[in-house]
Structure 1
Amino acid sequence: MPPPPPLEELQEEVLLRFPRHEPALLVRAALVCKPWLRLICGPGFRRRFREPHRTPPMLGFVGNIVPSLSGILTDADRPYSCFVPTTAAAFRSPGADLLLCRALDARHGRVLLNCHRRGGGGGVPLPRLQGQGYIVWIAAVLCGRCHHLDCHRGPFLVVYMAYRAPGELIICTYSSDAGTWSDPISTEQPTRHVDMTPSVLVGNALYFGCLASKSLVKYDLESHEMSVDPLPFTYRSWRPVVLDNGLGLATVHESKLCMWKKAGPEVDAGWTENRVIELEALLPSYAFLTPPDVVGFADGIDVIFLMADSVLYTIDTKTYEVKKVFEGKRINCVIPYMSFFIPGTALHGFWFYNNVINEQ
């Protein structure tokens, strides 16, 4: 009869089975005794804990608050981003509310912010582009690795997309390894205004939504090529999402949450209606005092953020479970923060400073 495994191995096997979406349980376990603290904080445990789970939990989200339209603005009325935990066990740092900051993206354990204020160093500088000013821009962040299990300290990329009138889109990328921006690539976009939404990552391509022109912009991370995919829709607002590991769209139309899926990766591939969810059966009647909007999407866990009046809900598109996660202020964009959190690791955010706005 083989000897039983060492006690430490048995303890590790138990700890590895803790639920990924309740990080406080591991924190409490690490406080039981010094041997457990060393075990949980070790790099081997962190790696083994992430491997079976693969998809990180959503610890919270960063919301961009819509400023008040009143005549005199106080600090509470100015635009800012706030971090909201989505589980009772999640953390919230004292500096989670960031005045004059706009959340742009969050992916692979990082948060990308645009801060409209003077000073501030250590961030990623805006690219220096030739020609006249760019009217609107958005950016995405992602790591430079392939397994995305422990990306916090590794290299990262920032993909910057901007629109310049009368009809030009440009994209360039920043590498933390090189510390420089790539040469920009451009394409025509026949519209006089583009309102861009945060990107989604499908395979090796980033997709940015251009609301006003009703089109999607695809950027291939391997070939570094850009293409524009017009949409056959006339909806007032929509968001790019990921459906069944493929590119999709989500919008609210006549009190219904409508989701469309692209038939293939090709630019001319068709779109099919993938799912329709009756919101009147899920939300209270007062939620329809103003038209609800899709304001965010959490990839990997199939959760859509819906702003209805001044209340923010999450809707699980698989189970139809609805949760109220925020109220009192109107949010026009939600950036989910998804990451493993284990004692002994740090949560990192990378700041994206807009020097042009800072100098105004």
Structure 2
Amino acid sequence: MSRRRRGRSSAAPLEDEHLLPEILLRLPPLPCSLPRAFLVCERWRGIVSCARFLRRFREHHRRSPPLLGCFVEGISPVRFEPTLEGPNRVPQSRFPFPIAALHTYVILGCRHGLMLIFLWRRNQLLVWDPVTGDRHHLDVPPGFDNEETMIKGAVLRAAGGVHHFQVVLVGNSDIQLTQVVASVYSSETGAWSNLMSAPLPAAADPDVLTAVYHDMCSVMVGNSLYWLLVGHLFGILEFNLDTQSLSVIHAPVDVDVNTCSATVMRADGGGLGFLFLSGYCVKLWERKTNSDGVASWVLERTVALDKLLSMNSEEGSQSPRILMFAEENNVVLLWTYIGVFKVQFESLQFKKLLESYRFYRWFNYYPFEAVYTAVNQVI
């Protein structure tokens, strides 16, 4: 007796209607992920185009966003330069800089998909979301005189969501630059905190003062923000977000910013790290605490950059320069005479992002790490 073969049954749809959104939520946070899902079928299309799902997607991946590119400030107005390859490459025109007038602003940095800009003529701060286009103007709080105070700052998303943000403003408190002050703005309360202060090390020469270094943005490690200090002391300014306190840390080496470059970074173990570049020699330090609770710097690694990137150190007329640290991807952006690279010094992996003949050593580069869904371009 012959047996009838059963036909292959088609895959049954997911029985739990709430399961598919949870699966789609875990797609990689790359620009092409949701547009591709949008084209699969009508059901997927409805999920990934829902505003609530898009908010959840951005929030789910907020701590692991891709490096979409850099905002580059040079001889022309600030422009966005994409660094991802197709099909994830974001068009250069997608994030037009919101300020047309030159020489009226100072970019203070990017974090969590936001940019902080100091509008010094208005004595205001602008928090700008390049993805959504949202803008928030804040008045600079009392204690920060834009004519006498050297202002730096940082922006970050508030813990637990993507709707609120905080701004931390730091600067020297008076024309003598003898102490550093800070204040924190919360979009939840719409108010600035009371002014906090910490003394700066006294200088033997009154003409050599210590100030926050203007060419490097803040770096967030753990729940603290760090800025480089230059002048009488080359050190690190720490603002602890938990204790709302300021402190000054001596750097492991003295750095002449005219001939060398350095940045704070996240160390292998997640603690505070410091990267120093002189010529083609990179030194990585980590701050460790011993059993007695005493913290000190430990040299962890030395890297010959010319060998790592296959460069001839005698060819380039200009030595490499540290541009910025992209903290969510834990990579350092470096300018070299053969191009702009991102380097992950834990694994010694690197990738060329931009050509050096188009992007000069003295340009300012602001890495932009964000979750950009691009679904609206498909709908």
Match of 2:206? none
Q: Structure 2 residue aligned with 1:294, among 319, 322, 326? A: 322
1:248 shift after superposition: 0.8
1:209-288 matches, within 5 Å, as 209-212=228-231, 213-236=233-256, 237-244=261-268, 245-264=270-289, 269-281=295-307, 282-285=309-312, 288=316
* Alpha-carbon displacement from aligned partner over 1:241-264 (angstroms, at most 9, x marks no partner): 111311111121241222111114
1:104–1:139 contact (8 Å) kept in structure 2? yes
Q: Distance in 2 between matches of 1:267 and 1:345?
A: 52
1:135–1:165 contact (8 Å) kept in structure 2? yes
Equivalent AA in structure 2 for residue 217 of structure 1: L
Return the TM-score normalized by structure 2.
Answer: 0.74
1:292–1:308 contact (8 Å) kept in structure 2? yes
Match of 2:15? 6
- Aligned CA RMSD, in angstroms, stands at 3.4
* Alpha-carbon displacement from aligned partner over 1:264-303 (angstroms, at most 9, x marks no partner): 4999610011222211111433774212111111123221
Q: Structure 2 residue aligned with 1:109, among 100, 113, 131? A: 113
Q: 1:267 to 1:343 in 2, by over 3 A?
A: farther
Q: Distance in 2 between matches of 1:53 and 1:177?
A: 19
1:12–1:39 contact (8 Å) kept in structure 2? yes
Return the TM-score normalized by structure 1.
Answer: 0.77
1:19 shift after superposition: 3.0
Q: Structure 1 residue aligned with 2:336, among 280, 284, 308? A: 308
Q: Which segments of 5 or more consecutive residues in structure 2 lack a partner in the other structure?
A: 1-11, 127-134, 204-208
Match of 2:350? 322
* Alpha-carbon displacement from aligned partner over 1:163-194 (angstroms, at most 9, x marks no partner): 24422211111121222222212222235142
What secondary structure does 1:93 align onto?
helix
- State percent identity of aligned pairs: 24
Equivalent AA in structure 2 for residue 134 of structure 1: E
Match of 2:226? 207
Q: Structure 2 residue aligned with 1:47, among 46, 49, 56? A: 56
1:5-44 matches, within 5 Å, as 5-6=14-15, 12=21, 15-16=24-25, 18-20=27-29, 22-42=30-50, 43-44=52-53
Query: Does structure 1 residue 176 correspond to structure 2 residue 176?
Result: no
Q: Structure 1 residue aligned with 2:159, among 137, 141, 145? A: 145
2:344–2:350 contact (8 Å) kept in structure 1? yes
1:30 shift after superposition: 1.6
Q: Distance in 2 between matches of 1:156 and 1:17?
A: 24
Q: Which segments of 5 or more consecutive residues in structure 1 lack a partner in the other structure?
A: 68-75, 347-360
Equivalent AA in structure 2 for residue 159 of structure 1: V
1:40–1:46 contact (8 Å) kept in structure 2? no
What secondary structure does 2:33 align onto?
helix
* Larger of the two Rg values belongs to structure: 2
